[in-house]
Each structure stands twice: as structure tokens, then as C-alpha cells.
Amino acid sequence: MIPKAITGLQCHQCNWMIPADPFHYTCSKCGKNLDFIYDYDLIQKAWLKSDLLKNPDRSIWRYLPLLPVHHAPENTSLTVGGTPLVSLPKLSQDHHLSSFQIKDDTRNPSGSLKDRATELSIQHAREQGKDTLVAASTGNAGSSLAALTAYHGMQSIIFVPASAPPAKLTQIRQHGARLVPIDANYDAAFDLAFDWAKKEDQYSRNTGVNPILAEGKKTVALEIAEQRNWQAPDHIFIPVGDGCIISGVFKGFFDLLALGWIDHLPRLHAVQAEGSAAIVDSLTRGGEIMAVEADTIADSISVNRPRDGDKARRAILESGGTGFKINDIKIMEAQKTLASSTGIFAEPAAATAYAGFLQASAQGFFQPKDQVVVIVTGTGLKDIPAAQQGLGSIESVPADMALIEKYLASE
Amino acid sequence: MIPKAITGLQCHQCNWMIPADPFHYTCSKCGKNLDFIYDYDLIQKAWLKSDLLKNPDRSIWRYLPLLPVHHAPENTSLTVGGTPLVSLPKLSQDHHLSSFQIKDDTRNPSGSLKDRATELSIQHAREQGKDTLVAASTGNAGSSLAALTAYHGMQSIIFVPASAPPAKLTQIRQHGARLVPIDANYDAAFDLAFDWAKKEDQYSRNTGVNPILAEGKKTVALEIAEQRNWQAPDHIFIPVGDGCIISGVFKGFFDLLALGWIDHLPRLHAVQAEGSAAIVDSLTRGGEIMAVEADTIADSISVNRPRDGDKARRAILESGGTGFKINDIKIMEAQKTLASSTGIFAEPAAATAYAGFLQASAQGFFQPKDQVVVIVTGTGLKDIPAAQQGLGSIESVPADMALIEKYLASE
């Protein structure tokens, strides 16, 4: 077995180093978010790119030497990760690029990228001797936690605002998670879930605080690099709410650069909905991230106070990326354009990243040699009512061949 | 390149042989459904199991020598097929089996097994010089056709009954397919779609008639065999409506047995909803398949007149399988049991197959050495309202730790 090369956890704010065991969610000195720190020399000595070629496991567990747990789970056959990197030569041509690809993370077990973080957090919880995971979520994180704890035979408790639409909770309830509908908003549910886990000595899978989650999410970057034969792209477009996904993507490429497996960081572009743009606004304005009153159709990135905002900002700035803001009409248009030009049906949040790419292209942002990747983080099937909003009504036609001919000719 | 080993097409009813080119959808003599016939000796000489080990393509195209088209598409990066075969040791133990596995075909691009058939039909259409595919469908086949024609840059026209629920049509419309809502039922839409394609010299992807579709669906059997290292399981449970999936699964194992790659056919069990059980009823009663007035929550297998019924019956009988009928309450229960014990969220039709397995197990159908596979054909995310029906209402709780404690202790 390859030795575990975790040096410890470091606060991204005050740089304080703490050991990885016993585990802390946040900095024991200033309370800010932590990063896992690896001994890359040790990893380099024991793990080669060519080892990966021989590894038949397509799941995130093929990258175990770069993950902060001791073992892979006994059963990995459900296959979290290993999602397609879809090449789209026609779009590449249309936008005058050298290559255009979509990382289709709708193909995870519960339909979103969140499964990567959940899968790692479940194994981490198990190694910490815990059998119950707690989270606040009305969406992808909750359904991911419910699905994967069911698969791994663990328990989950999910705090939601009682006002959450019942359809959003159906997937969570089908998987048998314990649901706690709180008479309060999401921010309050978030804090209660965290406090509950602490009080009960259960594991917290609250997005944007626990550094394990970014470590799980970074596997999407490791896969993109490996699927591109270790040639990092020039640009990656990422939907941003709490900021945890872009932080994870950054961490993945950061690790690979430290290992010498890639030769540059891709520029990571944060795409936010206009109605929930706290992080992009802070880039434009400078200074601290300020909370907003979020209002957008892209519910997975609708966030008042980004819980991982500072690390997200660091990811954008250190990679040379930038920020884009997209209004809801453009988001809905991008959802349809994406589905009809690629076959990939994205949720509004994921379509937001594609809309950011379209906006960048229209602004002449790219060079002809550029290689671009858009990460599609979740499936459109989770929010059919949102997808219906962008479509007009349709008229029926009698069961008569001549009239059908006329109907089909009329467009 | 491995030579194409298609001998021709044979009518499953009158045994009439016709050439594969020009292509016929049905028997030119009696009008019944056809099977593709291969020269297995030719394939055996040019293609070895060990060739597959070296093939990095995880999609259905890794089985090109056993598919009735000349070439794979230029772009296969979206990855149709290559879905996980999920091992479930705890369920295996609970049911006193040697192994229990689920083939998770929810993980296809559009969320269902139908993508296998669509992918092959698009390439077949292209090789026939056609750029438009036509189908009648309100569900998985339609959304699959819409998604994959969008991906491959082809056109699709989809006939639906105008009464189809708008939510069902959203995925199809997002992918930019041309939708024709007919003032008639599904059977009429089916016939009109077939006639339209004939009249316009377009390609018909109507389920249960075109033999290409079973050839595409058979790839799920090829994958199950390969993922099990060419040990065919003893039993496979398959949801059955039109009968096309079980015919395809049979064809896959039939091909592998003919090649000598497996040593027996698994017993293929057809599971139908009680309200749509034309095929299972014909097995019990003997004689012809008679149409029913279908009425079940499992809409993907709700069928009055099974279009591929005779081939389905042959698959069941020749493999030594049997039939199971499940009522809607048991289907909904099985959906929740499956989701909460495996992490896989199946549509009601797919949960029906699992319910059939549960019924068989309760009846003492299995031997302790038995190895069982259930095929989960489509994702529950496509029909959230159906999944909600099986769940009661939930009460909210104030944002107070003591009350949350009481709430969580109360179950």
C-alpha cells in the first residue's frame, strides 16, 4: 500500500497548521476553512502515472494516494466519478477553439458532482468511527448523501427549510434518509445541522466548511487531467454558489502541478447567477465578500453567504481566472442550447457555467489555440419545472397524414 | 478491421431469410419481426476476449464486431453503455444467494437503457444515408432519441399522444427534437410515426419492430457477461412492456453462447405490472398474446399490445425463465426499498423488476448457490410525481435544538 502522505491541515486564512487526526472541520485558532496539506515528494516516490494505466477501477478511488483517507471502501462498484469528458468538435469549430469539452458529471450515481464529496466523506466518517452523517441541503448534496449512505449501509440526517418544494425532497426520502424540516431558512438549517452533528458526535457533511468535501470534489480535476492525457486545458468554466466546487477543482490541479504531472494551472472561471453573485461581485469591487439576498432559477448555486467564498476567490485569482454573471433568462436559454447541441441535459446551475462560456466567447475572450472545458455539475432531470419555464406551449394536430405534413412544414 | 459477419435477417415466425442490405424492418413475407443472423465462426476467428481487455472504450462500441453496422460513430465520448454492475453483498446475504447484483442502466446519457438502442440506430441510419429518425414515444425512447440525435448532429421527429403529461415532454423538447402531439392514443401515434417515416424515407426508431433496437439493447447482456468475467448469472430479472428489452438481453447471451464465451444462458424472468401483463398472462394461459387495457403507475412498461411480444416469449421460454406480475402498491414499495437499500433510484418500471425478484425470493424460488442480476432500466428522476405517491406527508419542526431532539427520537 502507498503510504499516506498527509502532513496536516492548514488554515487558508491565518496559515496555522494542525494535525489531521483528531480531525477538525475548521481552524482551531481563527475558525476559518482548512486545506489538506500533502507531502508530494512521498507521493511521487510511490505512485506513477503509469500505475493509473494499470488500474481498472474507474471510480474516484483510483486516486486514493491523493485522498486524505487510509482505505477505499470495500465496495466501490456503484462507481462514483469516472464520468465522461465529452469532446464536441463542432462547438469547438463554432467558437474557433482548439478543443471544447464538457465534463458530464450528471452521470454520477445521484446525478451530480456532489457524489464525489459525499463518497469521500462517508469513508472519512467511517475511519473516524462514525456511522451517521448530517447535512443541511434541499438539493444535490442532500440527495447525494441520502443515496450514498444507503449504498454504504450508513445513516444520514438531513436538515431542510420546511418551505423546500416537496419534489426536491422526494429523492432524499426515497433513499430513506432521516429528514428534519425546520421552520426557518437555509442559513438557520445549516447552523442547526452543524450544531446537531457536534452535539451528537456525528459527522458533518455541510457543504463549504468540511475540507474533506473539496478533497472529494478535486477528483473531477484529476479525471479531466487524466482523460486529457495530463495536458491541462487553458480554461475551465465552473458554476459557483458556495464556492466549494471551484475550490475543489483548484485543489486537484494544484496537487497535480505539485506532483509535476501537469505543467500549468488552467484558468478557473467562476460563473454565478446574477441574482446570487457574492463572489464575482467581490472580485469586481475588491475587498471582502458581502452577503446578498439570493434570487435565481439556478437553485443549486442560489446562496446568500458563500460558505467557501474566500477559498473560491483564491482559486480564481491564483489560477488567473475571472468571474461571469448570468441572468436567469440567459441561464434558461443556455440550458436549451446545451441540451440541443450536445445531448447533455443540465440543471440550471450547470447550464450557468455553459452560459458563462458563451458570454466569454461572444466577448472575444479566447485565442484560436485555446482548449476549453465546461463542468456540468448536475442533471436537468432534478428540476423539470425549471426546464419547462423556458419552453412555450405546444399545439396538437389531428391524426391525419396531410395535416401532420402541414404541421411539420410550418417551422 | 474485423470483417462484418452479418449473414442476413431471419423472421422469427416463418424463418424466411432476407439480406441485411437493403434493410427491412419486418419480414418481407409475413410481416413479423426479424432477427439479425451472424456468422459466429467468422467472428471467432477475428475477435478474442483478450482483445476486449486491451480496448479502452467503455461504451457499447467496444462490441462492434457483434453489432450490425460497419463502423462506430466518429465520436463516442458521450459514452452510451459502460454502466456499473453493482455488487450488493448484504442483499445477497439477506436473500441467501451466492451473489446479487444490479445492472445500473440509469447511468446512460439520457438516464435509461434505451440509449443503447438509440445509439446503434443512429449509426445504422447514417450508414443507410438517412439524417432524420422518427419515433413514437412519451417517455424513455423519445428522450433518448432526442438527446442522442442532438449529440450526433442528426434530426429527430417524435410523435406523442397530445394527452401526454407536459413534464414527460420537457426532456425531449430541451434537446430540440421536433415534437408532433397527435389527437389520438399511443397506438395510433405509433402507426402514424411508422407510416410517416416510410412516406418520407426517414429512419424509424419505433420500439419493438426495428430489429436494430434489440441489437443495441443486447449490449447490456454483453456488459453483464464481461463484468462478471464471462460467468453468466443464473437468473436475470427484467421489466417487460413491449418485450423489446428482454428480447435484446436474450440475443446478447445467445450470441455469447454461440461464440463459446459463456457456458449457459441465464434464466430470463419477465416482470410485468399487474395492469399491463399481456406477455406474462399468455405464458400462464398458453396460446397467443392478447391485448389488454393497460393501467399501471409503471408507465415505461404500460402497454396494451406488446409490439415485440412473440420474441419476448421466445426469450423467456428458451432461457428457462418465467413471468411475474406485480401490483402498483408493491411496485411503489419496491422503488423505496431499492433506493434505501442500494442507493439506486429507479423509475417505477425498473423497480418492477426488483419487486419481481423480491417476490421470487419470498416464494423460495432460489438455491443458495444462485447468482442473480436485476436490470434497472431507467432513473426515478424522470417521474418524481410517481415517486412522491408512495411517500406520506411530513411535519415541520421549530428551529429549536430540544424540539429537534424530540422529533428525531420519535421514530
Q: How confident is the model at residue A400 (pLDDT cuts 50, 70, 90)?
A: very high
Can you give the pLDDT at residue B312? 96
Fold of the domain spanning A85-109+213-389: Rossmann fold (3.40.50)
Q: What is the per-residue pLDDT across B23-79, written as a single tens digit (0 to 9) for each? A: 999 999 999 999 999 999 999 999 999 999 999 999 999 999 999 999 999 999 999
Q: Establish, for the pair of chains A and B, how many residue pairs have beta carbons separated by less than 8 Å.
A: 216
How many CA atoms, within 13 angstroms, populate the side-chain half-sphere of residue B379?
A: 26
Q: What SS3 class is residue A31?
A: coil
Across all residues in chain A, what is the average pLDDT?
A: 94
Tell me if A384 and B384 make a contact (CB, 8 A cut-off). Answer: yes
Q: What is the pLDDT of residue A167?
A: 81
Domain map of chain B by residue range? 85-111+213-389
- State which fold the B85-111+213-389 domain adopts: Rossmann fold (3.40.50)
Give tens-digit pLDDT for A306-337: 999 999 999 999 999 999 999 999 999 999 99
Tell me the average pLDDT across B259-274. Answer: 98
B373 touches A at CB < 8 Å: no
Integer Cα distance of B113 and B122 in angstroms: 15
Q: Which range is least confidently modeled, A249-258, B4-13, B116-125, B217-226? A: B4-13
pLDDT at A168 over 90: no
Q: Is A142 on the interface with B (CB under 8 A)?
A: no
- SS3 state of residue A75: coil
Residues of chain B with Cβ-Cβ distance to A178 below 8 Å are 408, 411
Quick one: pLDDT at residue B411? 67
pLDDT digits (tens, 9 = 90+) for A79-111: 999 999 999 999 999 999 999 999 999 999 999
CA dihedral of A129, A134, A135, A141, whole degrees rounded to 10: 60
All residues at 6 or more sequence positions from B14 whose CB lies less than 8 Å from its CB, including other chains: B27, B29, B30, B32
- β partners of residue B156: B133
ipTM above 0.85, yes or no: yes
pLDDT over 90 percentage in chain B: 87
**pLDDT more than 70, % of chain B:** 99
Question: How many residues are present in chain A?
Answer: 411
- What does the pLDDT look like over A218-237, one tens digit per residue? 999 999 999 999 999 999 99
Given a cut of 80, whether residue A13 has pLDDT beyond it is: yes
Chain centroid to CA A9: 22
Residues 6+ apart with CB under 8 A from A96: A366, A368
Q: How many residues comprise chain B?
A: 411
Calculate ∠ Cα B116-B119-B120, nearest 5°.
90
Q: What is the DSSP letter of B112?
A: B
pLDDT of residue A279: 97
d(C-alpha A381, C-alpha A108), whole Å: 13
Q: What percent of chain A lies above the pLDDT cut of 70? A: 99
Q: Do A196 and B147 touch (CB under 8 A)?
A: no
What are the angstrom distances between the C-alpha of B241 and each of B38, B53, B188, B254?
A: 27, 35, 17, 21
Contact A182/B396, CB-based, under 8 Å? yes
| CA-to-CA separations, B279 to A405, B237, B273, B287, B314, in angstroms, rounded | 35, 15, 11, 11, 11
Within 228-267 of A, beta carbons closer than 8 Å to B belong to none
The whole-number average pLDDT for the span A170-185 is: 94
pLDDT at B141: 94
Per-residue pLDDT averaged across A250-261, rounded? 98
Sign, Cα dihedral of B136, B141, B146, B150: negative
**Phi, psi (deg, nearest 5) at residue B202:** -105, 175
**Is B309 touching A (CB cutoff 8 A)?**
no
